[in-house]
């Protein structure tokens, strides 16, 4: 993993920046909010803590949590309309600045496509730049599982997305920013990882990340100074 100085230099010269979404770009964990909305919040929050700590595989945790929630199409849409995700302070300004510099911005999330696309629209990020998990529903709107073929549905999936982006767009320098173990393990193939603790601090990530920030202003400042 790159040193602090190298990480800052890569960030300043990045072709693309990939953000995790839950507890990074937005303040909440989308799956926990959906669980609360569906009345199984406590049980699912405990599973999320274990998954983010890296003690169980992501796919196993996702399968178990969704098996408890079993959200309908209507519940997912109502969650987005009644309790829209709250953007983390500073993210809008940071994404705008990256766009002004010609940097491609991607949202790479273990969360759900419908919620992440809603976030992308608020940040002027094209939906083609969203990589997330797709929920499946029966014709009557009942929960029918999730698309297990999506790379983001399993541990190591974010790294697969980044490898795909580098191959497709010939990016030389790609940065991954996030709060969890699944974000940190995406480096490599990401050229550097920046840990984010503005909403929740994961001990393992804080200890291992060469650059750990608690506010997006720290990244904006780095761009403005150079």
Catalytic residue among 15, 22, 32, 42: 22
Catalytic residue among 15, 20, 183, 191: 20
Q: DSSP H helical segments within the chain, as ranges?
A: 4-12, 30-37, 41-52, 58-69, 73-82, 91-100, 113-122, 157-169, 181-184, 203-208, 217-225
DSSP state of 171: -
How many angstroms separate the CA atoms of 91 and 186, rounded? 21
Question: Is 20 among the catalytic positions?
Answer: yes
Burial of 94 (0-12, 13-18, 19+ CB in 10 A): buried
Catalytic residue numbers, as ranges: 20, 22
């Amino acid at each position: 993993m790159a040193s602090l100085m190298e990480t800052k230099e890569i960030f300043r010269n990045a072709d693309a920046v990939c953000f995790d979404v839950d507890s990074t770009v937005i303040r909440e964990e989308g799956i926990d909010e959906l669980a609360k909305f569906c009345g199984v919040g406590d049980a699912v929050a405990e599973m999320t803590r274990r998954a983010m700590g890296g003690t169980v595989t992501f796919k196993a945790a996702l399968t178990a949590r969704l098996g408890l929630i079993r959200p309908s199409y209507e519940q997912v849409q109502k969650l987005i309309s009644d309790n829209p995700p709250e953007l983390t302070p500073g993210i809008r300004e940071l994404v705008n600045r990256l766009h002004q510099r010609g940097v491609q911005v991607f949202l790479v999330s273990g969360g759900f496509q419908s919620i992440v696309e809603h976030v992308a629209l608020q940040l002027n990020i094209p939906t083609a730049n969203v990589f997330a998990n797709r929920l499946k529903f029966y014709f009557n709107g009942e929960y029918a599982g999730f698309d297990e073929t999506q790379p983001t549905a399993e541990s190591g999936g974010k790294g697969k997305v980044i490898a795909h982006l580098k191959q497709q767009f010939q990016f030389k320098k790609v940065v991954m920013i996030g709060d969890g173990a699944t974000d940190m393990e995406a480096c490599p193939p990401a050229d550097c990882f920046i840990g984010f603790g503005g909403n929740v601090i994961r001990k393992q990530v804080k200890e291992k990340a060469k650059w750990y920030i608690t506010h997006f202003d720290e990244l904006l400042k780095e761009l403005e100074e150079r």
